[in-house]
């Protein structure tokens, strides 16, 4: 499994299938555990990710890790994190449809490799790119979607939480924490059903 993950990362890191290959510093493939039953999919790398070659390592990523830990999940052990797009769009502009389409085979390979039972989609771009759903996040977040034998959970993007930092009950931070607790509870149920110890 780890070998397959390394082979995928190696192949992806020299991809030139879209114009972003000309402006990126590093291809940003994934971080976390490729054996996890939880996968998180974000939008695209930002400046820090493009420098370090790892997803969600800038401000949004630090907030994401904080939320995961508060929800009882270990960011390195319990999940695999990637983005719909593996290379940074210049100036962090929105990914273009053609770029997302060109990058889709990499994401498909990642989903096949990890074979997660639960997938969190972070923000509207990931939700549209992966499940082709375009309804407002406020109505979809926190609700399970069953598709292709997996359970999908849309969540607010951590960058949105940075722009809306209130931690009041009912605010986006509190809602996302409760969504992630729901995700963890679902994973624990799955583990209990398969006889594996609870995390």
> How many chain residues touch ligand SF4 (CB under 6 A)?
15
Residue identified by tokens 């493939």 is: 29
Our CB check for ligand SF4 shows the closer of 52 and 182 to be 52
Query: What, of ligand SF4, ligand URA, none, does residue 56 touch, CB below 5 to 8 Å by kind?
Result: ligand URA
Q: Which of 103, 121, 126, 155 binds ligand SF4 (CB under 6 A)?
A: 103
Helix (H, G, I), strand (E, B) or coil at 146: strand
> Smallest distance, Å, CB 21 to ligand SF4?
4
21 binds ligand SF4 (CB under 6 A): yes
99 counts as binding ligand SF4 under rule CB under 6 A: yes
Q: Which helix (H) or strand (E) holds 31?
A: strand 31-32
Q: Is-contact 34 51, C-beta < 8 A?
A: no
Q: How far apart are CA 40 and CA 132, in angstroms?
A: 17
DSSP 186: H
Nearer residue to ligand SF4 within complex by CB, 86 or 157: 86
CA distance 146 to 133: 13
What residues line the site for ligand URA (CB under 6 A)? Answer: 42-46, 49, 55-56, 58, 60-61, 83, 159
């Amino acid at each position: 499994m780890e070998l397959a993950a390394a082979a995928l990362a190696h192949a992806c890191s020299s991809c030139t299938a879209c114009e972003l290959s000309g402006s990126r510093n590093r291809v940003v493939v994934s971080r976390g555990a490729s054996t996890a039953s939880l996968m998180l999919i974000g939008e695209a790398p930002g400046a820090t990710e493009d420098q370090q070659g790892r997803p969600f390592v800038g401000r949004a990523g630090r907030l994401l890790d904080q939320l995961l830990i508060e929800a009882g999940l270990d960011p390195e052990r319990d999940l695999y994190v990637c983005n719909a797009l593996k290379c940074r769009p210049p100036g962090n502009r929105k990914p273009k449809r053609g770029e997302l389409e060109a990058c889709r085979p990499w994401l498909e390979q990642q989903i096949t490799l990890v074979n997660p039972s639960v997938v969190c989609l972070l923000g509207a771009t990931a939700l549209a790119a992966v499940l082709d759903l375009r309804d407002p996040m406020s109505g979809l977040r926190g609700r399970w979607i069953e598709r292709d034998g997996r359970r999908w959970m849309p969540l607010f993007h951590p960058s949105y939480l940075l722009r809306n930092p209130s931690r009041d009950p009912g605010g986006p931070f509190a809602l996302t924490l409760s969504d992630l607790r729901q995700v963890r509870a679902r994973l624990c149920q799955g583990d209990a059903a398969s006889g594996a110890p609870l995390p």
